[in-house]
Every structure is written in structure tokens, then in C-alpha cells.
Amino acid sequence: MGLRAEIVCKRYMDEFLMTERDPHMVIGVSGGADSICLLFLMKETLGAERIRVVHINHMIRGEEADEDSSFVKSICEREGILFTEVKKDIPALSREMGYSEEEAGRRIRYECFEAAAAQWEEECSLAKGSVRIAVAHHIEDNAETVLFNLFRGTGIRGLSGIAPERGRIIRPLLGCSRKDIEEYLRDRGENFRIDRTNEDTAYARNRIRNLILPQAEEVSSLAAEHIASASGKLRSILEYLDCEVDRQQAELVTAEDGSFRVNKQGLCKLPEVIASMLVLRLLTELTPMKKDIGEVHADMVLELAAGSAGKHSDLPYGIEADVSHDEILLRRRSSSDRVEPVIETEVLYLKANDLSAADIAAITDPACEGNRYTKYFDCDKISFAASAQGIDKEPFFEIRKRRDGDFLKIRKADGSLGTKFVGDYLTDLKLSVTEKENIFVFAAGKEVLWVIGYRMSDTAKLSDDTVNILRLECRPAEN
């Protein structure tokens, strides 16, 4: 029976919300099993008049996405629940924002939920922050998050998984499994939509969901539950450690003009876990995004602190760490301080039969001096790669800094083309943070045809059938 979902949700609501008077709830509903389950549980708990549904159409799956919206709308009309659809062109916004589609979609969703909550408060003169936002994360989502963070390299905070609540956001199904959710809907006789993009293993989370977790469940059928349980225990430990970090920050850190001065001797005397958490907190406060700051950057600062005075380190987002005899200065460079690397480029169009002996040597001999910074591409294949991403106007390509979501096409042993994110490729190379920030790419949309100075994609390489060739020379400008 699907009673477990009801019991878990009621327990959650009793613990977190029933002390509030007449709570109001914006619910994010995609049409999938988890969000449809959440919709009905919230209606049973609060009543239709105190919930509103927001559905985000990401405009990725065309007609299927419109069908998802119609499906959720029909349920809301039947149940007497206010429904709002928000259409956002996530592929276009991801390019504009410089994020992967997955990250751009997540950010846009929460912005829309926040806007809907604030609008409700204004319409009904409710207290600011009183309208909650319910999202449908469950046990498997939590396990995926823990594994994703573990594989990327994380500290205790990343291993503590998804929080039951954050600000006005609540997650009433976090103690339910996918099985609990589907049993609940089956008992009610309710259908749900299936998003085929969840099967696309080009996304890291989907690889964890569809490939890694099923293997883990062959070791233990309760693998996801055990991971989620461990994350909850780590969250309790984290709360305790955060209190100690608060105390040490008050004693050792001085904030001034967007920078932090840290007592060097005091920091070096702290237990490693507290020192690392303190530095990570300070670095995070200096950045516009948390996701690209991790334990490795805290370790860089602590290694600097253990060394002699006068040392310097460059970190992501233009953060600088400088150590003197008594203190460590952490600050973010202003745009006027920043010196961006410059790359010189030269583009030449050739016919296959116009290649010189020097060109042929650069193409065929990896040891050739011109090989690293001069590459040759099939023009027709470049235009095909561009058109696959909706780029139909010249120039089909651009030379730019790498962005989140950029990917390479790499030929597998069986001859098929596989996808590898550029970020993962650079991590495999063990490049420093500064080196990664200075990488340029030759790209058609999000598909990278050449990580300049490193490898080419297998998409647009020359073949015996190539007629039109683009010769691209890119090298760092001389100072």
C-alpha cells in the first residue's frame, strides 16, 4: 500500500510546518511521479485554496513538454488548484548564462518559484517570506546528490546531501523512496508523465541514477536509503562543527572592504577540519557561485598559510590569497585589477588540394612544431555541428573562454562518437584552477571542436572526403 508516503509527509509537516498559522504553499510540479505525489499530499494536508502549482516548461522537448504542461493543468483544474505555466527557453538561456542546461534549468526553476511566492504574498498582504515553496526531492535524489558530490570531490557539507528545508524551500518527500511514491499514486489511480531526458546518460546525474545506483542496489537493496541516512547523520555533525567555525571566525577573521584578514598563527593551530571549513566559508562568501569552490581551494590556502611569508595563490573568480608574517589576506580582484590572457588567432580557408607540405606535416605529425597551435577542420562538418544546435547563420563557430556545459565528441573503441564534458576532460588532465580558467576553445555552440593547446573533437576532423578546409592558428599573445 502507498501509505508510507502519506505517513512520511505528515510527519514532516508536523515537524516543520504545523506550528505555522495557515501555511501557504507554492508547489513545483513537473508532471513526474514525485511532483504529482507531492501535489496530492499537499492538497490533502492544506486544502486546495492554500496551494498554488507552478509548472516550468523548459522548451527542450518540444511537443512532449507542452503535453506535460497540459497534463499538470488538467489535474489542477480538476482539483480546484491555481495553476501557472512559465515558459523558459533553457537551451538559449544556458548559452547566455554560460551554464550547462542542467544548471541553468535549476536556477531558472527556483527563480520562478521565488517570484510566484513573492507575488502571492503581495496579492494577499501576507508576511514577507511566509509563503513556502515545496519541491519533490526524495530518497534516491538525495543519494544521487551525495554520490555526485563525492565523485566531484567534496567535504562534509557536500556529503550531507539535500537539506530538508532551506529558507522558504521545503522538501516533504525527502524521506520517501521512488517506490513509496509510485505505490501512493497507484493506490489513488493517478497517472504521471515520464521525462525521456532523464534517461540521457550524457548528464552526470543520470549516469548515477541509471547506471551506478542500480549496481549499488545489487550489493544492498537499501543502498539509497543507507546513503541518505548517512547523509542525515553527517548533517547533524556539520551543524555541530558550524557552531565551532562561527566561534573561530569571530576570533580570527576581520572583514573589511570585501576582503578577509585571517590570523595566520591562529588558523594553523586549528584542527584541520575546522580550519578547512572556515577557509571554505570565507572563499564562498567572496564568490558569486558556490558550486565551483571546493575543498581543493581551501587546501591551497591552508598550504599557503603553512609556508613562508610573501607567498601568493590565484583562486577561481579572481580571488587572491596572500600571506604575510602574521596574516592571510583573501580578496577578490576588481575588474580593473584583472588582466585577462590574450590569444592571437588566424583563420584561413583552403581547398583540400591546396594544402602545402608544411600543412600536411602539421596535420599528420604530432611532433611537428606547428601542430599544437595550428589545426585543420572540415568546414562542412563544422556547419553540420552548428546546425544540430540550431545555429544557422555564419559564423558557425567562435573562439572563446570555455563555459559550463561545453562538450567534446570523442570516438570510442567501437567507432561510435561519445560525449565528454570539457570540464571533466580538464579535470582528467589535472590542470590547476588558474590553468583551467585560462583555457580557450574553438566551438560551434556548446560543442567544442578544439580545446586550444590540447585535443580536438572527433566531429570535424579531416577525412578522405573533405573538400573545404578551415585552417585555424591560435597561440597565446606575447607580452
302-308 average pLDDT score: 85
For residue 404, what are the contacts with CB-CB under 8 A and spacing of at least 6?
98, 99, 100, 103, 423
Rounded Cα–Cα distance for residues 112 and 137 (Å): 17
Dihedral of CA atoms 407, 410, 414, 415 in degrees, nearest 10, equals 110
**Measured CA angle at 42 (ends 144, 137), to 5 deg:** 5
Rounded Cα–Cα distance for residues 286 and 255 (Å): 11
Q: What is the pLDDT of residues 107-141, one digit of tens each?
A: 899 999 999 999 999 999 998 888 999 999 999 99
Under 8 Å between Cβ of 178 and 19: no
For residue 91, what are the contacts with CB-CB under 8 A and spacing of at least 6?
59, 60, 101, 390
Task: Please say if the pLDDT value at position 339 is more than 60.
Answer: no
For residue 85, what are the contacts with CB-CB under 8 A and spacing of at least 6?
55, 56, 57, 69, 72, 73
Task: Please say if the pLDDT value at position 478 is more than 70.
Answer: no
Tell me the chain's radius of gyration from C-alpha atoms. 26
pLDDT on residue 286: 87
12-40 average pLDDT score: 83
Instruction: Pull the grid cell for residue 454.
Output: 590540447
8-27 average pLDDT score: 76
| Mean pLDDT for the chain overall | 85
53-77 average pLDDT score: 91
Task: Please say if the pLDDT value at position 52 is more than 50.
Answer: yes
Q: Which residue type is seen at 41?
A: L
Distances (CA, A) of 463 to 284, 460, 471: 47, 9, 14
pLDDT on residue 334: 63
Rounded Cα–Cα distance for residues 424 and 410 (Å): 13
Query: Where is pLDDT greater, at 395 or 407?
Result: 407
Rounded Cα–Cα distance for residues 371 and 354 (Å): 18
Closest CA to 205 of 154, 135, 164, 150: 150
Q: How confident is the model at residue 433 (pLDDT cuts 50, 70, 90)?
A: low
Does this chain's domain 257-332 share its CATH topology with 343-476?
no
419-441 average pLDDT score: 79
159-174 average pLDDT score: 90
Closest CA to 175 of 249, 231, 215, 126: 231
Percent share of the chain, pLDDT over 90: 40
Closest CA to 357 of 347, 368, 342: 368
Percent share of the chain, pLDDT over 70: 89
201-224 average pLDDT score: 86
Q: Which CATH architecture has domain 3-230?
A: 3-Layer(aba) Sandwich (3.40)
Q: How confident is the model at residue 434 (pLDDT cuts 50, 70, 90)?
A: low
Q: Which CATH class name applies to 257-332?
A: alpha beta
Rounded Cα–Cα distance for residues 371 and 364 (Å): 9
pLDDT on residue 405: 80
343-476: CATH topology is Phenylalanyl-tRNA Synthetase; Chain B, domain 3 (3.50.40)
284-310 average pLDDT score: 78
Query: pTM for this one?
Result: 0.64
Q: How confident is the model at residue 364 (pLDDT cuts 50, 70, 90)?
A: confident
Closest CA to 245 of 299, 281, 297: 281
Q: What is the pLDDT of residues 151-163, one digit of tens each?
A: 876 778 888 999 9
Rounded Cα–Cα distance for residues 378 and 459 (Å): 9
For residue 217, what are the contacts with CB-CB under 8 A and spacing of at least 6?
223, 224
Min mean pLDDT across 4-18, 237-251, 371-385, 444-458 is at: 4-18
Q: How confident is the model at residue 202 (pLDDT cuts 50, 70, 90)?
A: low
Query: Where is pLDDT greater, at 27 or 373?
Result: 27
Question: Domain map of the chain by residue range?
Answer: 3-230, 257-332, 343-476
Beta bridge partners of 27: 53, 134
pLDDT on residue 384: 85
Around 196, how many Cα atoms within 13 Å sit in the side-chain half-sphere? 7
pLDDT on residue 357: 82
pLDDT on residue 1: 47
Task: Please say if the pLDDT value at position 215 is more than 70.
Answer: yes
Task: Report the 10 Å Cβ neighbour count for 347.
Answer: 13
